[in-house]
Amino acid sequence: MPGTDSEIAIEARGVAKAFDGRAALRGVSFAARRGELLAVIGPNGAGKTTLLSILAGQLAPDAGEITRPPGEIGWVPQRAGLYRRLTVCENLRLFAHLEGIPDPDATVERMLELTALSQRRDDQVAVLSGGNQQRVNIAIGLIAQPAVLLLDEPSAGLDPRQRERVWEFVGAMAGEGTTVIFSSHNIQEAERYGQRMLVLADGEVLLDGTAEQLHAQAPEAGYRDFEEAFVAFLRERGHG
């Protein structure tokens, strides 16, 4: 379960970023608590990946501040950052060594167990399915046991069974106290797995709350599903 306000794991205040004069983020502020699963949703070009990249320290914001937890932040980019010619085990061991983890071999074994990839440990990543590649990708993000895990579109390109596996895995991480912030444009998925959601459009935060709160702020009642309510919510705010 998410922690209390006093257990804020990561916080953004007034974060702004522009590329070639075009604003990607405009004064984004939010906070995520320990063990919370926060979904960042919005249409294409809303600024989701930019926000996660800034939270991960990959990009520097033009304005605003980020308060990060001490230690490592796990970052899982949308496209798996893996060496396809190395085996699962070699990928994990490489990043364990690069992270400077005291006992890399034990960490690799733990990650293999956690991702249920022990049987595929000696397979080259290139021969793994997209779902398994994503699990290795996430495992690398988790290898330094970060307090916060940032996932950019973690289920993109995966079939339903693979998605299910990934979300089981991510849910287990959050259950162990890892704060998980994930971006998605799959609204149903965000509703199902996100405990809270941050709705972004054109770089602005339109909503920071639960799925029920978004439903409540949609212009009318009686939508068939959450996606319809979300689209109506965006349209009413001029982002249709």
What residue ranges bind another protein (CB under 8 A)?
56-58, 72, 75, 77, 79-86, 90, 94-95, 97-99, 124, 140
Closer to another protein by CB, 90 or 189: give it. Answer: 90
Q: Cβ 210 to another protein, closest distance in Å?
A: 31
By beta-carbon proximity to another protein, the closer residue of 136 and 207 is 136
Residue 232: count other Cβ atoms within 10 Å of its Cβ.
Answer: 18
Residue 97 vs 235, nearer CB to another protein:
97
- Taking the complex as a whole, how short is the minimal distance between the CB of residue 81 and another protein, in angstroms? 4
> Of 79, 1, 83, which is closest to residue 34 (Cα–Cα)?
1
Least Cβ distance, residue 4 to another protein (angstroms): 29
For 162-224, the DSSP string reads: HHHHHHHHHHHHHHTT-EEEEEES-HHHHHHH-SEEEEEETTEEEEEE-HHHHHHHSSSS--S
Q: Compute the least distance from the CB of residue 114 to another protein, in Å.
A: 19
Q: Give the residue with the Cβ less far from another protein, 53 or 178.
A: 53
CB of 197 to another protein, least distance (A): 25
The nearer residue to another protein, 25 or 190, going by C-beta atoms, is: 25
Q: Measured at the alpha carbon of residue 175, what is the angle toward residues 170 and 177, in degrees to the nearest 5?
A: 100
Neighbours of 205 (CB within 10 A): 22
3-state SS class at 111: helix
Q: Which two tokens stand for residue 20?
A: 């070639």
